[in-house]
Amino acid sequence: MKTPTFPRGVHPHDAKDATMDKPIVILPPPEKVVIPLHQHFGTPAEPLVKKGEEVLLGQKIGQGKTLFSANVHASVSGKVLAVEDYNHPGGYPVTAVSIANDGQDRLSPDLKPAADPFSLSADEIRDRVREAGVVGLGGAAFPTAVKLAPPKDKPIDTLIINGCECEPMLTADYRLMVENPLDVLRGAELVRIASGAIKVIVAVEDNKLRAAEMMRRHLDGIHADIVLLKTKYPQGAEKNLISALLRREVPRGGLPFDVGVLVQNVGTAKAIWEAVSLGKPLVERVITVAGSGIGEPKNLLVRIGTLFQDAVNFCGGLAEDINLVVMGGPMMGLAQWSLDTPIIKGTSGILAWRTAFPAAEYPCIRCGRCVDHCPMGLLPTLLAKFVQREMWPEAEKWGVLDCVECGCCQYACPSRIPLVHWMRLGKNKIAQAKRKKTA
Ligand code: SF4
Ligand code: SF4
């Protein structure tokens, strides 16, 4: 029997006009940064500094002690004000190192450039990436060094550099591709060397033709195919991207490794280039600040640990009748209750709206739209019911852990049911139960 096909994913207006043509502006380093020790997938880093100590720009201030962790570095030079719990964009307090910026950007002597980055071995590239605390900048903040070390029995044949940026309103990756195509491609080449991939594909959605053109123009001897994909949400989700480009299906509960693929975001590729060639730790990133509630939307290069408030002030401030502030894109972003929260490695944007989607929720009318649009082929309405009734084994059996939290179901739902909230809750509860069992 033929597998039924679904109009999977959704087609929201991309709403990128406000910042697409705005070059990246450097946000002057703020007077204070607050750098959480947990801003990546895995275990928190352990603090290496104490209140009152002087630190240098790029100095390691948090040590990732396990494989699934990441080092954390000072993004300014100055004095440590505190090592204590602070607001985190995830919505819970996290131990963070607050630093008073002395405005001098005194560099740590630990930063060691490589004379010829392309002559380094795979292990040397991975070590430099690990030491620099590089994590996936597409939002998931997965430690990059782990991704660069595929299991021996699962060789990588294809590297995909993800330039889709399918979330509406965000243009940070687009600007990176337009303004720094060579750094992105050089980073891609290092990932290819480290992972052993044979083929490199740079995937760009067809609403970013200029970015694709800039990448193509700067190939400069680097072998990569620049491939245009249809603009669709969530085109940039790893499993969707692999399916769209290679017609390979990542198995349920599996990873791209399982089908011989490695996916890296364009921002991560640039960070890898800087980590390996310059020895530069991940202390800054590009974000988009936009939305009807922002005075002057911009793309900014910001130091990690800059408070949302400082970035928003630089962009003309918030409108008075603000309704919603989100970190990330409008589909997957996390709602924020305060601007006294630091920008972390996984912050792709700060969005603010004067009017938000209506909050009223209505009963499910069993229209099936959430099912039709789920890119993972799940039954969101059924999963939400399992979670609401705390039927954890059933929720797991029917695939709640495969949910990528893309928000398509919620976007398509005419009853405005917060389906993503129920998916996240289900995933967290099941993960918690598993951790308890193995503890
Ligand atoms: S159930 Fe998860 S993967 Fe499916 S559409 Fe909803 S958020 Fe996306
Ligand atoms: S889209 Fe909303 S109303 Fe329709 S079946 Fe899914 S949960 Fe119910």
What are the extents of the domains in the chain?
17-111+281-353, 117-278, 369-438
Is the shortest distance between the CB of 376 and ligand 1 below 6 Å? yes
Ligand 1 geometric centre to CA of 403 (Å) = 5
The domain defined by 117-278 folds into Rossmann fold (3.40.50)
Cα-based distances in Å from 251 to 2, 257, 422, 434? 19, 10, 23, 21
262 close to ligand 1 (CB < 6 Angstrom): no
Give the residue, out of 374, 417, 422, 425, with the most ligand 1 atoms within 8 A of its beta carbon, to mutate for a pocket test. 374
In 263-305, alpha helices (H): 266-278
Structure tokens at 316: 């003309």
Q: Is 403 in the pocket of ligand 1 (CB under 6 A)?
A: yes
Per-residue pLDDT tens over the stretch 215-266: 999 998 888 999 999 999 998 889 889 999 999 999 888 889 999 999 999 9
From the CB of residue 209, how many other CB atoms can be counted at a distance below 10 Å?
11
Indicate the CATH number of 17-111+281-353 among 3.90.1150.200, 3.10.20.600, 3.40.50.2300, 3.40.640.10: 3.10.20.600
Band of residue 402 on the pLDDT scale cut at 50, 70, 90: very high
pLDDT band at 2 (very low <50, low <70, confident <90, very high): very low
Burial of 394 (0-12, 13-18, 19+ CB in 10 A): middle
For ligand 1, whether the C-beta of 234 sits within 6 Å is: no
Instruction: Give the DSSP H or E segment for 226.
Output: strand 225-229
* The predicted structure's pLDDT at residue 359: 63
Q: Report, as an integer, the average pLDDT of 421-433.
A: 89
What is the end-to-end Cα distance of the chain in Å, rounded?
45
Q: Which of 239-243, 320-324, 357-361, 399-403 has the lowest mean pLDDT?
A: 357-361
For residues 141 and 212, give the distance between their C-alpha atoms in angstroms, rounded to a whole number. Answer: 25
Residue 198 has pLDDT above 70, yes or no: yes
Which listed ligand is nearest to 424 at the C-alpha? 1
Between the CA of 373 and the centroid of ligand 1 the distance, in Å, is: 8
Ligand 1: residue whose CA is nearest its atom 5: 374
Atom of ligand 2 at shortest distance to CA of 366?
Answer: 5
Instruction: Give the closest residue (by CA) to ligand 1 atom 1.
Output: 380
